Amino acid sequence: MQKFSLKDKLMNDYTEQDESKDISGERLASRLDDLSKIGLTPGNGSNRPGFSKEEKHAKELVGGWMRNAGLNVREDGAGNIIGRLEGKNNQLPAIMCGSHVDSVPNGGHFDGPVGVLSALEVVEAWNQTGFRPEKPFEVVVFSDEEGARFNGGFNGSEAITGKGDINEKRLLKDKDGLSFEKVLNEVGLDIEGYQESRRNPNEIEMFIEVHIEQGKRLEKENLPCGIVTGIAGPCWIEFSFTGEAGHAGNTPMNDRKDALVAASEFILEANKLPGNISESAVATVGRQMVEPNGVNVIPGKVTLFADIRDIHKETRDQLAGEILTLAHNVAKKHGVEIEHQEKIRIAPVPIREEIQDNLEKAFQEEGIRPYRLPSGAGHDAMVIGEIIPVAMLFVRSKDGISHNPEEWSDLADCVQTIKVLKNFIEQMQ
């Protein structure tokens, strides 16, 4: 069986024409390859849960590359790795850039690491050209973005921003029954240090994150990268439609209170609402439970979850309101009871227009057609964006596949994105 080599696959279609004079595609491919070997699954995927020994190993490896690039490196109490390049004027707030290296179980090799290594490659390019930024520049590796360990992520970025209820985190347990505190202890961290990781927002001017798109828009536009206009905030609502279970053969069609028929109409009609409200709004029913779930039994109860998102709070909340109204109207029509419970409502993070305009200028200077698109998924930038301005760049994803060993972004696209990133950061000096 041939040994898995991410570097070989990345370099296979990479040509001298793709290479930049100061950004090394081969170095980027080698580092992505080195990270891919940590937590490599039998299916050639990635398995580095947050606060695992694998994630810690990956962060230590990146920390070593940071030191070799001349950065002052430290680990905070949440396990975030921060490499700082001093600027000409260290009294100015820093530009921060990075992402994460943890993964979902059997995930891909690009989600997270591309953002971390893109930030580091900017420093490597500056070292080659002798450029020194006016403002300090920080490369960050956030802990536990994906949330595979506790079914809820962003623990590293929440520590830096001071977001998240520490008492709620104390109650978290992983699949093995280990508490949040115990899991921290296993990788040399503790609750007290986690709480002390909060940064003064005045220390950071802006956070920039490079991430794979996890969608097909850039691929359809035939573009290597794009400008993110905002990060959608999710609102999750649990609905329960309760009718009457009955015998499938003996209950006439005109004498039924079928909870699944009501739920089905709700799902169909809810799918039509987002397009009437906002171009970037979406609504999904991705999970439902039918009771009693028998072949010959009329469904008596259906519980389902609606995931409602938009990059604008007003339209997201409008959509949530219309979906609530729809659920009650459908229930009344079918003579069933309806209950709902809101599970989460996280504020969207729109990205400032002037930041998008500056990114557009960087695209034009690098000879790439600027293209703007929303992010439907959450990222560390969403958490950081609650307290300081953020910018995001997406790298084209092959077939839009993500959280899967087949996840792929071409090396040439990654290098093009780093060129834009470097140009943009230099504009900010």
Taking a C-beta distance cutoff of 8 angstroms, is the pair 180, 150 a contact?
A: yes
18 is a domain residue:
yes
Residue at which a domain ends, from 313, 345, 377:
345
Which whole number is the average pLDDT over 310-324? 96
Taking a C-beta distance cutoff of 8 angstroms, is the pair 234, 282 a contact?
A: no
From 20-24, 118-122, 181-185, the region with the lowest mean pLDDT: 20-24
- Give the containing element (helix H, strand E) for 220: helix 217-221
Query: How many whole angstroms separate alpha carbon 332 and alpha carbon 279?
Result: 30
- Give the containing element (helix H, strand E) for 423: helix 411-427
Query: How many whole angstroms separate alpha carbon 383 and alpha carbon 279?
Result: 23
406 is a domain residue:
yes
Do 263 and 372 fall into the same domain? no
Do 340 and 220 fall into the same domain? no
Distances (CA, A) of 307 to 263, 265, 346, 401: 15, 17, 12, 20
pTM of the model: 0.88
Over residues 216-272, the pLDDT tens digits come to 999 999 999 999 999 998 899 999 999 999 999 999 999 999 999 999 999 999 999
| Short-list 85, 116, 84, 83, CA closest to 99 | 116
Do 181 and 268 fall into the same domain? no
- State the CATH number of the domain containing residue 206: 3.40.630.10
Taking a C-beta distance cutoff of 8 angstroms, is the pair 244, 423 a contact?
A: no
Given a cut of 70, whether residue 2 has pLDDT beyond it is no
Do 327 and 388 fall into the same domain? no
Residue at which a domain ends, from 345, 370, 392:
345
137 is a domain residue:
yes
Do 77 and 166 fall into the same domain? yes
- State the CATH number of the domain containing residue 296: 3.30.70.360
Residue at which a domain ends, from 297, 323, 345:
345
Do 266 and 311 fall into the same domain? yes
Over residues 176-190, the pLDDT tens digits come to 999 999 999 999 999
Distance, C-alpha 336 to centroid of its chain: 38
| Structure tokens that stand for 311 in this block | 């990059």
Total domains present in the chain:
2
Taking a C-beta distance cutoff of 8 angstroms, is the pair 19, 45 a contact?
A: no
SS3 315: helix
* Mean per-residue pLDDT of the chain: 95
Do 360 and 250 fall into the same domain? no
1 is a domain residue:
no
Q: How many residues does the chain have?
A: 429
Distances (CA, A) of 245 to 54, 142, 291, 335: 49, 49, 8, 13
Which whole number is the average pLDDT over 42-53? 95
Do 239 and 225 fall into the same domain? no
Taking a C-beta distance cutoff of 8 angstroms, is the pair 403, 111 a contact?
A: yes
Q: In terms of residue numbers, what domain contains 175?
A: 6-232+348-427
378 is a domain residue:
yes
